[in-house]
């Protein structure tokens, strides 16, 4: 998406990819049978402010949605999150997308636990970095000819 749009426009673009709206969340079942809540809350901080602009992820929210819908791999990994640093099981979606006009694929990661998510938005992937993201237990891998 183009830079400089309103935060709500980016949030709407992500939600619309699933058929959700800011006023209507839904549960999405991924290709491995995991359920992910798709809602505006994904983009709100604990204080209620939008955090969609964090880390430049706003321009790539549609790719974040596609990473959940069409992942190359899904991993389960234990990690710590939040101020209390509580241990939780996180679901990590990894995908690479060929983008017209780009020399190399763009890498997207979306990670979610019961309370938070983090999106590592699209960027030129380095194979070493992608390999570092493959930790925990892989529960899904796209096969050749799929998708």
Question: Is 119 a domain residue?
Answer: yes
Question: Is 35 a domain residue?
Answer: yes
pLDDT digits (tens, 9 = 90+) for 100-142: 777 767 778 888 877 677 665 555 555 666 677 788 999 999 9
Residue 40 vs residues 9, 31, 51, 68, 77: alpha-carbon distances, Å: 12, 22, 11, 16, 24
Range of the domain at 90: 7-141
Question: Is 2 a domain residue?
Answer: no
Question: Is 129 a domain residue?
Answer: yes
Question: Is 1 a domain residue?
Answer: no
Rounded to 5°, the CA angle 11-58-129 comes to: 125
**pLDDT over 90 at 44, yes or no:** no
pTM comes to: 0.82
**DSSP at 44:** B
Number of domains in the chain: 1
């Amino acid at each position: 998406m183009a830079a400089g749009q309103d935060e709500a426009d980016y949030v709407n673009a992500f939600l619309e990819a699933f058929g959700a709206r800011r006023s209507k969340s839904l549960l999405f079942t991924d290709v491995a049978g995991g359920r992910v809540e798709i809602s505006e809350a994904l983009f709100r901080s604990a204080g209620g402010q939008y955090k969609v602009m964090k880390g430049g992820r706003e321009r790539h929210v549609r790719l974040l949605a596609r990473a959940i819908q069409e992942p190359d791999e899904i991993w389960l990994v234990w990690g710590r999150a939040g101020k209390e640093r509580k241990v939780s099981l996180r679901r990590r979606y990894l995908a690479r997308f060929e983008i017209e006009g780009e020399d190399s694929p763009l890498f997207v990661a979306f990670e979610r636990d019961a309370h938070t998510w983090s999106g590592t938005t699209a960027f030129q992937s380095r194979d070493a970095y992608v390999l570092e993201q493959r930790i925990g237990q892989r529960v899904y891998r796209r096969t050749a000819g799929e998708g």
